[in-house]
Chains A and B, each alone.
Chain A
Amino acid sequence: MEIKISVKNLDAFYGKNKVLHNISIDIPKNKVLAIIGPSGCGKSTFIRCLNRMHEVVGGTIKGEILLDGEDLTKTDPVLLRKRVGMVFQKPNPFPSMSIFDNVATGLRLNGVRNKKQITPIVEKCLKQSALWDEVKDQLNKSGANISGGQQQRLCIARTLAVDPEVILMDEPASALDPISTTKIEDLIFQLKKDYTIVIVTHNMQQAARVSDYTAFFYMGKLIELDETNKIFTSPSNKQTEDYVRGRFG
């Protein structure tokens, strides 16, 4: 199995406060890894380390994170975030931009200016994010004037436009209704054919439904990492078992 990201002995800090302790995880290519655990366990901090967003909020790390064998900490953060895209909990389309421009912006920022080049990529990304059929006749409409579920899929299309290799998703469906959540989950299932996906979720059922592997974090430590069906049928660790059974604490 080809490893896309290899995390070795990762510690993460906010000032002197250590929030992740000696995390080692290999993330396989074209698979979905779900990170589960109670609030404050370090899930979001962990994925923010994977595209150096942790540094943006003043954090530091020790240890090694390799993307295709290459040390992330030595990579230009802007180039890195092109390769490792991120979708956030709350849909955040650019409100003053049209649907088309929301997707095209990333391309333009990366130097693609020719509309003939941009248009097919926008269409492809909107199709990949399962939004095209719903918005194809209103591409000039503001990105803020569509439903929350559509906005989140627009954000995914925007992430896809710059052709990332890894997509990080931080609670991508927690602000959405059940039907939009189903669409996002179906989309994750489709996208893993082309991308490596790491998803943080509070919703254990969602982790069970969408992921190939699940990692359980508790108090900044990786308690257990295994195939998702193993985690949800016969986890090796008692803390994991208590958590997935809802009998934690």
Chain B
Amino acid sequence: MQEHFSQEIENLKTSLIKMASIVDEQVDKVITALESGDIELCKGVKSKDLEVDAYDNLIQTQCENILALFQPVASDLRLVISAIMINNNLERCGDIAVNISQRVKKAGNERSLITESQIIDMARTAQSMLKNAIDSFIKNDTELASNVVASDEKVDKLNKQIFSFLVAKMQSNNEFIEASTHLIVMSRNIERLADHATNIAENLVFYVDAQIIAHRKKLERSGN
């Protein structure tokens, strides 16, 4: 049943790419808003998230139907498993974009704190990771996916630095408490965004190379 099956697989890939492009656009808007201080850019991010949620449900149904009707095996099976997981991660990225937009609305005017904290660098790195993870899926490019996975450490490091910097700011002056709190939450959201990009890249590697690379470093370190 090659033709029918191929058509369903193509439909699934198309849905994922459409969903990813909406998420990519949402993330770009909120990070540009953070960078420029143009809070107006955050408008519409929440309503756009409904489209992402609709794709989430559609893709889940598409995967369920493919599994039930075609019983895929080998790379076809890995594609469907990856699609389920990538879908889940993209949906979370959409939610994170909404969360970041809410923090930008509240703290976006704190220009010097934003600049000094390096949160823009962190956000742009995470955004680039997400973009590359999506591209790696579109092109089946495992090398690009591996680069995404490698970048996660940089974001984790920046998150810790930003946290320490903002805590120090709050300790130095009470006036920084509210804005710093918003930025700490935002930084945590950006760190999660990078984690989801990493998960997407790991799932692409699972699909293409049949290798489970998630948690590899941690497991190696622990001797498992």
Pick out which of these stretches binds chain A: B67-75, B105-113, B207-215: B67-75
What are the residues of chain A within 8 A of B4 when measuring CB–CB?
Answer: 185-186, 189, 209-210
Interface contact A189-B68, CB-CB below 8 Å: no
CB of B219 closer than 8 Å to a CB of A: no
- Chain A positions 183 through 200: 1 when the CB is less than 8 Å from some CB of chain B, otherwise 0: 001100110000000000
* A51 at interface by CB-CB < 8 Å: no
Q: Which of B4, B5, B69, B70 has the most CB of A within 10 A?
A: B69
Q: Does A182 contact B (CB under 8 A)?
A: yes
Q: How far is the CA of A233 from the CA of B61 in the complex (A)?
A: 10
A102 within 8 Å of B by Cβ?
no
Q: How large is the interface on B (under 10, 10 to 19, 20 to 34, 35 or more residues)?
A: 10 to 19
- Nearest-neighbour CB distance to chain A for B58, whole angstroms, equals 13
A229 at the interface (CB under 8 A from B): yes
In whole angstroms, how far apart are the Cα atoms of A208 and B68 in the complex?
Answer: 8
* Tally of A-B Cβ pairs under 8 angstroms: 34
- Residues 77 to 118 of chain A near chain B (Cβ within 8 Å): none
CA distance A232 to B67 in the complex (A): 10
How far is A188 from B157 in the complex, measured between Cα atoms in Å?
57
Residues of A within 8 A of B65 (CB): 229, 232-233
Interface of B is mostly: helix
A90 to chain B, nearest CB (A): 22
* Shortest Cβ distance from B66 into A: residue: A229
A232 contact set on B, CB distance < 8 A: 65, 68-69
Which of B3, B5, B69 touches A228 (beta carbons < 8 Å)? B69
Q: Mark B55-81, 1 if CB is under 8 A from A, else 0.
A: 000000000110011110000000000
Contact with B along A156-196 (1 / 0, CB 8 A): 00000000000000000000000000100110011000000
Q: Does A205 count as interface, using CB distance less than 8 angstroms?
A: yes
Chain A interface size band reads 10 to 19
A209 touches B1 (CB 8 A): yes
Secondary structure type dominating chain A contacts: helix
Residues of B within 8 A of A208 (CB): 68-71
Q: Are B3 and A186 interface neighbours, CB within 8 A?
A: yes
Taken residue by residue from 1 to 40, chain B's Cβ proximity to chain A (1 for < 8 Å, 0 otherwise) reads as: 1111100000000000000000000000000000000000
Residues of chain A from 222 to 249 with CB closer than 8 A to chain B in the complex: 228-229, 232-233
Q: Name which residue of chain A comes closest to B71, CB basis.
A: A205
Q: Are B69 and A189 in contact (CB under 8 A)?
A: no
Contact A209–B69 (Cβ < 8 Å): yes
Q: How far is the CB of B202 from chain A (nearest CB, A)?
A: 28
23 residue pairs A–B, Cβ–Cβ below 8 Å: A182-B1, A185-B1, A185-B4, A186-B3, A186-B4, A189-B3, A189-B4, A205-B71, A208-B68, A208-B70, A208-B71, A209-B1, A209-B5, A209-B70, A210-B1, A210-B4, A229-B65, A229-B69, A232-B65, A232-B69, A233-B64, A233-B65, A233-B68
Question: 8 closest Cβ contacts across the A-B interface?
Answer: A209-B1, A208-B69, A232-B68, A185-B1, A229-B65, A189-B4, A233-B68, A186-B3
> Chain B: residues with CB nearer than 8 A to chain A?
1-5, 64-65, 68-71
Task: Mark A residues whose CB is within 8 Å of B.
Answer: 182, 185-186, 189-190, 205, 208-210, 228-229, 232-233
Q: Given contact pairs A208-B71, A228-B69, enumerate 11 new A-B contacts (beta carbons under 8 Å).
A: A182-B2, A205-B71, A208-B70, A209-B4, A209-B69, A209-B70, A210-B1, A229-B65, A232-B65, A232-B69, A233-B68
